[in-house]
Amino acid sequence: MIASSSCQIMRSLHFFIFFSALITTYSTSTAVEITKGINGLDKVILRQTQGSGVEVYLYGAHVTSWKNGQGQELLFVSSKAIFDPPKPIRGGIPICFPQFSNLGTLQSHGFARNRLWTVDNNPPNVTSEVANGVFVDLLLKPTEEDLKIWPHRFEFRMRVTLGPTGDLMLASSIKNTDADGKLFTFTFAHHTYFSVSNISGVEVKGLGKLDYLDNLKNRERATEVGDAITIKSEFDRVYLSTPTEISILDQEKKRTFVVQKDGLPDAVVWNPWEAKAKTMADFGEDEFKYMVCVEAAAIEKPITLKPGEEWKGRLQLSTRL
């Protein structure tokens, strides 16, 4: 997974050409930068002049930071997160593909979050919505090693966009590029960790009265009784056939996260709580108090693609007071 020096030089040159063209063509008030992150891993920084910013590592196409115009961090990343491939990064927005959790034969949450993605320096379909913000397109294709554990050829494109008002949008497209007529099936999630003041003062709204699978009870199916979800102990549920908008109220900060999604019918709500947090080497013992995961996902009904077919999903995150 470590590129040669010549490859790194060429890649850096491609980044420079692409980002220079992007800034000139699509916006005069925004910036994109490629730089080194923790342990020398490449990351892309997106900025808006009003102060908001996003950081995304090429390792895993992993968003690790999303800040508002006041410079406040909106995502949670553990102080013990490990930035050392092939270990996953704890926090931010990991990608679960082609398998969510242990619902299959692969490692938990699949391999997309453990791979080095590339930047597409000739991105297609630049819409006016994207042009008003700043974006980067990241690509993942299977390696020969990947094909040994999951024998399907695909192209996964994810466009990370920081909008002019600080909204964060992740637009994914996954295409079956197999030439042998083989279809494939996958499950998917954006495993988003939100930063909160204290979990005791958090409410998740929009999932009331919906059916869910309780991962703490062997995926037993049940129905949510309340209108708003509050978390008082370990919590791990997959809510089914959810609305396109979910909100997370942080009462102490009087701030609401708004999760808008398309093509992702399910939603996972997770917090490890104290006992499990103590068993996680890459998670601080008391950090469960300061995060909640609300994940846009496609889990209950796996997605099947024939050769040439493409699936698209979209996640947009914003805040309001």
Given CATH 2.60.40.1120, say whether it is the number of domain 5-320: no
pLDDT score at 6:
40
Q: What was the pLDDT predicted at 321?
A: 84
3-state secondary structure the chain: CCCCHHHHHHHHHHHHHHHHHHHHHHCCCEEEEEEECHHHCEEEEEEECCCCEEEEECECCEEEEEECCCCCECECECCCCCCCCCCCCCECECEEECCCCCCCCCCCCECHHHCECEECCCCCCCCHHHHCCEEEEEEECCCHHHHHHCCCCEEEEEEEEECCCCCEEEEEEEEECCCCCCCEEEEEEECCEEECCCHHHEEEECCCCCEEEEHHHCCEEEECCCCEECCCCCEEEEECCCCCEEEEEECCCCEEEEEEEECCCEEEEEECHHHHHCCCCCCCCCHHHHEEEEEEEEEEEEEEECCCCEEEEEEEEEEEC
Q: Given the residues 191, 224, 245, 274, select the one marked as catalytic.
A: 191
pLDDT at 252: 96
- To the query of whether residue 310 is one of the catalytic residues in this protein, the response is no
62 a catalytic residue: no
Choose the catalytic residue: 295, 300, 309, 310. Answer: 295
> Which pLDDT belongs to residue 30?
52
Domain chopping of the chain, boundaries:
5-320
pLDDT at 77: 98
| Each residue's pLDDT tens digit, 163-211 | 999 999 999 999 999 998 899 999 999 999 999 999 999 999 999 999 9
Residue numbers of the chain with a pLDDT score lower than 70: 1-30, 126-131
Q: Supply the pLDDT for residue 132.
A: 73
What's the confidence (pLDDT) of residue 96?
Answer: 98
Query: pLDDT tens for residues 123-151?
Result: 887 665 566 789 999 999 999 999 999 99
